[in-house]
A and B are shown apart, each in its own frame.
Chain A
Amino acid sequence: MSASGGRAEHDDLRQVVRRFLAERSPSSEVRRLMEAGESRDDAVWALLAGQLGLTGIAVPERYGGAGYGPVELGLVLEEMGGALLVAPYLATVALAGQALAASGDEDAMARWLPGIADGSLTATLAIAEDSGSWDLAEVTATAEPSGSGWAVTGTKRYVIDGDRADLLLVVAQAPDGPGVFAVERGAAGAAGVDSGRLDTLDLTRALASVTLREAKAVRVGAGQDTAAWLSRVRDLVLAALAAEQLGGATRCLDLSVGYAKVREQFGRPIGSFQAIKHKCANLLLDVECARSAVYHASEAVAGGDPDAPLAAVLAYVYCSRAFTQAAKECIQVHGGIGYTWEHDAHLYLRRAKSSELLLGPSAPHRTRLAELAGI
């Protein structure tokens, strides 16, 4: 029954993150980074990692992290989603960090998690290829033993922060089935690795194509049941992304309500008209349902509940729709001003639609939900 009845420490964490983002990642900063094609502001990243310790939030204490889990990470992502923070946080912490922490591979964790925790290392997880799907069956990249390590060949698409991440965790087919292979990239890049940022809808989050030609790699989680591990990782990622979507949807609601209170037409605030009121109340309904779904999923995933896979995909499917709906309604409530480049509404629409499709087309997620629910 703890479904975010809310612990005081969570309220504190939320307030700290919210204040930090309001100061250091206002819309003007988001736009500056976006227009410069940057993936982060170094000073903000340093504070976020060092002073606030947010990069280490889901990293076990023995690797220099705070040792929290999906609940606290979700809370941070919710705030970041609301602020549209431009930073390699989702990829580094929620994708690669959680994947490593769940790998059971002590060498890999000791090698990379401390860097993720202190913010010195950025990382990402590369699964999807041409279809955009995260289904392991669609992975065609290959990994062959090479010397003391492995050589990975293939092309990964839609890799979040794939153009700059220091560490790429690449899913590829090894002779014994799918596995995860770590490719390190220094300042000068890595031999056999080419990447380029894609021109995509969401200007606040970089997606890249990564081409690997016999790139030198270290296998992660060699003794593991890869399918089970990556299935756990998928739950963690779904819950994390849903939390970020919740934050975005909440901000769209807040922007809409705020504007409806002050914008006057026909001599009165537009929020006094029932057409606008009902729109906003229906958005609140979506947002509150999204919140319930996200908090339930975070806790289920954190606790490793049998219900976790279903709870996670449910949260993601629901939040995908809710965020996009909220972003569209936000534009509608704002009317003409909401259609301008200067207004932030389109940034949320871009983020919303992109997040909805970030882990592949939406239909397979719904099909998976049906299977998990026994329908």
Chain B
Amino acid sequence: MTTEDDDFRARLRDFFTAHHPGRPPKDPRERLGWTKAWLATLFDGGFAGPGWPREFGGMELSFAHQVIYHEEAARARVPGPLGTGLNIAAPTIIKYATQEQKQRWLAPMLRGDTVWAQGYSEPEAGSDLPSLRTTARRDGDDYVVNGQKVWTSHAGDADLFFTLVRTGTRESRQKGITYLVVDAHAPGVQVRPLRDLTGGHLFAEVFFDDVRVPAKNRIGEENEGWRLARTSLGHERAAGALNQASVYRRVLTELEELARERGQLSDPLVRDRFVDLEIRVRIIRYNAERTIGGILARGEAGAASSISRLLITAFEQDIHEFAVDLLGPAGLLGKSASQAVQRSRWLLGFLRTRASTIGAGTREIQLNTVAEQVLGLPHDPGMPPR
């Protein structure tokens, strides 16, 4: 750590302390406004977008300073970003959009003025995303979009959807996909909340019925969308890996405390289950350290980063199920039951984390990817080309 690092850390800490927005409001509408206000504070103070170009309101930090940024944000427990635009759409926009588009979209996204949500998955296009069917037909200066997207989070709050649509023939697969930004408030857009297995409504279905989208909302060339969608901004995401590790560390410590209070830690079988989780949670941290160390030392994230998601998703499923097992029948109580343990968080986690190994690529698809891209195993000839 250099003095410059220390100074930077101190400036962040001061800012986060001075402007921390306090506890989130319970009402969802109020909470949206509260989050937006925080993002605007960050942006206006020059503390938004650690890895983004300065030109669009970001901080353009070195990787080492991005790590510090995430550490301090986690320590201060300030709210995270809104919607999925920042992590998923922004890298594509920064790399491939026109100057006019960047001006139009990036700063408002970063400032929280516009909320972005993803429109990739469809009922018939999950793991096989290149088979997607939502069409965009060119009509003058517009595209006319028809189809259905699913598993869109933040759809209800969204101002813009970043979507993948078919502009090629039905059989064109990844060669006929275009990256299009659709105004969520345009006529013909309909959002229907989707009730998931937890009973909640985190996701929605989004229907497009003759929605007119100006061609100036297309990123890149027509039929070039597939390649564009797979953009990431260098190692930006790895910078937050340590914080993610800290979150799981905290969750495990909380479960250990619960088991201790309940007098269950004297059972050697229970202890051994904890040993297993303890090993894994520490290795999640060591992996993060090694990934970050590798990037700092040689600019390479290495294989540890490619397996981190597989590790983390299995961990979050296992810890929640173990917690429910530990609690016995009390673990089955829902939030409104008066004897519910810790507002039923473990049970909810048990249900919620079923999604961990499905969303953003199923575990099976990720294993394929690791096998082919890291280990160099041959592609399955029975599957369409990647």
Contact = CB atoms under 8 A, between A and B. Distances in A.
A5 B304 contact: no
Output the residue of A284, A289, A296, A375 with the most chain B CB within 10 A: A375
Interface string A360-375: 0000001101100101
Contacts of A47: none
Contact of A370 (B275, B289, B310, B371): B275
B275 A373 contact: yes
Given A278-B371, A318-B283, A366 B275 contact: yes
Contacts, number: 136
B311 A272 contact: no
A375 B275 contact: yes
- Mostly, the B contact residues are helix
A343 interface: no
A281 B375 contact: yes
B307 A6 contact: no
A5 B294 contact: yes
Interface centre among A292, A317, A373 (most CB of B within 10 A): A292
Interface residues of A, number: 40
Contact of B371 (A5, A277, A375): A277
A114 interface: no
A318 B374 contact: no
Contact of B307 (A273, A288, A318): A288
Q: Which of B275, B372, B375, B379 has the most CB of A within 10 A?
A: B375
Given A268-B381, A274-B380, A292 B283 contact: yes
Interface string A64-80: 00000000000000000
Interface residues of B, number: 40
Interface string B278-313: 110011001101101110111000011001001100
Contact of A3 (B271, B293, B298): B293
A288 B282 contact: no
A131 interface: no
Contacts of B275: 317, 366, 369-370, 373, 375
A260 B377 CA distance: 7
B364 interface: yes
5 contacts: A289-B311, A292-B283, A296-B289, A317-B279, A375-B265
Interface of A: 1-7, 257, 260-261, 268-269, 271-274, 276-278, 280-282, 284-285, 288-289, 291-293, 295-296, 314, 317-318, 366-367, 369-370, 373, 375
Given A3-B293, A5-B293, 13 more contacts: A5-B290, A5-B296, A5-B298, A272-B381, A289-B287, A289-B311, A293-B279, A296-B289, A314-B279, A314-B283, A318-B279, A367-B271, A370-B275
